[in-house]
Amino acid sequence: MPDIRPTVGSGALVLNATYEPLCVVSVRRAAILVLSAKAVCVADGEGILHSARNALPVPSVVRLTRFVRVPYRTHVGLSRRAIFARDGWRCAYCRGPAETIDHVFPRSRGGPHAWENVVAACARCNHTKGDKTPAELGWRLHSLPAAPKGIAWRVLGHRAPDPRWADWLDLREPEAA
Ligand SMILES: [Zn+2]
């Protein structure tokens, strides 16, 4: 196994042989795929990786040389980080920096812990809202909460995408109203 010390900490996007995005792996893992001819580099990142015998550009996007069949996870897990990522780390009520998770219809009144009922919120809005609904306060949500969908979510989860991956992932998010 080559001794590869990545110069950058970000991962690499792995595409299937058909160019379909599959997952994100460490730069080191991507380099090993390329060095073992299991993948070819499609887009370089920044910097050079050095091993005992090789020097190769940091891979940013690699494509597998053989097609792999992947069972897809269609459901995005509901986690604190995933909720923040979906909502862009902004409060659903005032658009300030989000620090907490709010249940739109309060849990104390039977609101479910589900994608459709959770939003990122700042501490102030969350505290002010308490166990009331937005309607009772005359507040409006900037967008209707929903489970995240799409290829970017399946591949990236809550990870921030590298701009170099945009050609392969549909990264155009619908703008919040
Ligand atoms: Zn707020």
**Domain spans of the chain, in order of start:** 11-71+151-168, 80-137
Ligand 1: centre distance to CA 103 (Å): 13
How distant is the alpha carbon of residue 9 from its chain centre?
16
pLDDT (0 to 100) of residue 177: 40
- 9-23, 74-88, 109-123, range with greatest mean pLDDT: 109-123
Ligand 1: centre distance to CA 139 (Å): 11
Considering only residues 72 and 151, tell me which one the structure prediction assigns the higher pLDDT. 151
Considering only residues 128 and 153, tell me which one the structure prediction assigns the higher pLDDT. 128
Ligand 1: centre distance to CA 123 (Å): 7
**Dihedrals phi, psi of 81, to nearest 5 degrees:** -65, -40
Ligand 1: centre distance to CA 164 (Å): 32
SS3 string, 21-84, reads EEEEEEHHHHHHHHHCCCEEEEEEEEEEEECCCCEEEEEEEEEECCCCCCCCCCCCCCCHHHHH
Mean pLDDT of the chain: 85
Quick check: 120 and 97 in contact, CB under 8 A?
A: no
pLDDT (0 to 100) of residue 40: 96
Fold assignment, 80-137: DNA Binding (I), subunit A (1.10.30)
Ligand 1: centre distance to CA 44 (Å): 40
Q: 2 falls in which pLDDT band (50, 70, 90)?
A: very low
- 43-57, 62-76, 109-123, range with greatest mean pLDDT: 109-123
What 3-state DSSP class applies to 136?
helix
10-37 mean pLDDT: 91
pLDDT (0 to 100) of residue 72: 64
Distances (CA, A) of 155 to 21, 35, 64, 65, 149: 7, 23, 15, 19, 11
- 27-31, 93-97, 168-172, range with greatest mean pLDDT: 93-97
pLDDT (0 to 100) of residue 73: 62
Considering only residues 143 and 70, tell me which one the structure prediction assigns the higher pLDDT. 143
Task: For residues 121 and 83, give the distance between their C-alpha atoms in angstroms, rounded to a whole number.
Answer: 10
- What count of other Cβ atoms lies within 10 Å of the Cβ of residue 12? 29
Ligand 1: centre distance to CA 142 (Å): 11
Q: What is the DSSP letter of 143?
A: S
Ligand 1: centre distance to CA 97 (Å): 7
Ligand 1: centre distance to CA 136 (Å): 16
Task: Tell me: pLDDT of 3 over 90.
Answer: no
Summarised one tens digit per residue, pLDDT across range 136-151 is 999 999 888 998 877 7
Ligand 1: centre distance to CA 116 (Å): 18
